[in-house]
A and B are shown apart, each in its own frame.
Chain A
Amino acid sequence: MNDLMRRLLSPEDDGRAFTDAVLMRAAGALHRRRAAAEGADGQAWTWLEAWARPWLIAAIVALALALALPVGRAATSGATVTPTLASDLMGTSTGTSYVLAETLGN
């Protein structure tokens, strides 16, 4: 009976025409789905273009500043080293006495 039912209910064709008919009827829905999927990607790029680019620029500027600041500090600290050393040398009493003694020939 199972075989008989299977034979009775089975389509005689190979299903290609049926598949084509379904695909034809589904063409609109498939197109909408494709468009939606592509649209979602497009929206993502638009969002990136609208938001990520300013943030990217801001990030680059911040990075540049972050790199520039230590250089500036180093330059600033380099300028203060000499006077500090000089003043240290000048401020040393033994050093001053030695220089004066040499100068005066003592």
Chain B
Amino acid sequence: MEPDAALAVQAAAGDREAFGALVERHQAAVRRLTRAVTGDAHDADDAAQDAFLSALDRIETYDASRPFGPWLMRIATNAAIDLVRRRTVRRADALDERAPSRRSSPATDAESAEIRAKLVAALAELPERQRVAVTLFDVEGYSHAEIAAVLEIPEGTVRSDVFHARRTLRVALEAFAPDRQMEGR
């Protein structure tokens, strides 16, 4: 598999295949992040597309000696926050438009939908930076230092953001998983 840095160089020269490979490789993580920030599947994909176009636009600023992911995530975070601020009307139930649960039982489907709704609501209550921090930490597996670099904030602030975000989410979901260990790492 060709390294991101090599693909970025080729994309900078207008190589469609190379840029497409970068998009394909990172689209899931970027879309998860933009979903966490926007709370809306459609807005999230718009923001994610904007992020990739913005990344192509400024690909010369990417330092090939550093990982591509955090650089892209910073752009995606800004794109998502910009989009959220541009939108005046937001669909509160957007994530409920997603595909149905993989579980078959109507009862568990209902519970799953309720959990999703709770989590969506809890995420929406978080400040944008906390949403990004907890998503990058818990979903994408970034370290505090990496998140600090992405968000350009001190590492201690990231730790605090992740802590508060997790506490909010835990409170929102504790009715559904009272015995589950939610502290994770």
B175 adjacent to chain A (CB < 8 Å): no
Per-residue CB contact flags for chain A residues 32-66 toward chain B (1 = under 8 Å, else 0) read: 11111100000000000000000000000000000
Q: Is the CB of B99 within 8 A of A12?
A: yes
The 28 listed contacts between A and B (C-beta, < 8 Å) are: A1-B173, A1-B180, A1-B182, A2-B138, A2-B139, A4-B119, A5-B134, A5-B169, A6-B32, A8-B116, A9-B32, A9-B135, A10-B31, A11-B45, A15-B27, A15-B28, A18-B45, A18-B49, A19-B20, A21-B45, A22-B53, A27-B16, A29-B53, A30-B16, A30-B56, A35-B14, A36-B14, A37-B14
Q: Identify the B interface with A (CB < 8 A).
A: 11-16, 19-20, 23-24, 27-28, 31-33, 35-36, 41, 45, 48-49, 52-53, 56-57, 95, 98-99, 115-116, 119-120, 134-135, 138-139, 166, 169-170, 173, 177, 180, 182, 184
- Most chain B beta carbons < 10 A, residue from A22, A27, A30: A22
Partner of B135, one of A5, A30, A36: A5
A25 adjacent to chain B (CB < 8 Å): yes
Interface of B, helix, strand, loop or mixed by DSSP: helix
Partner of A8, one of B20, B56, B95: B95
Q: How far is the CA of A1 from the CA of B135 in the complex (A)?
A: 11
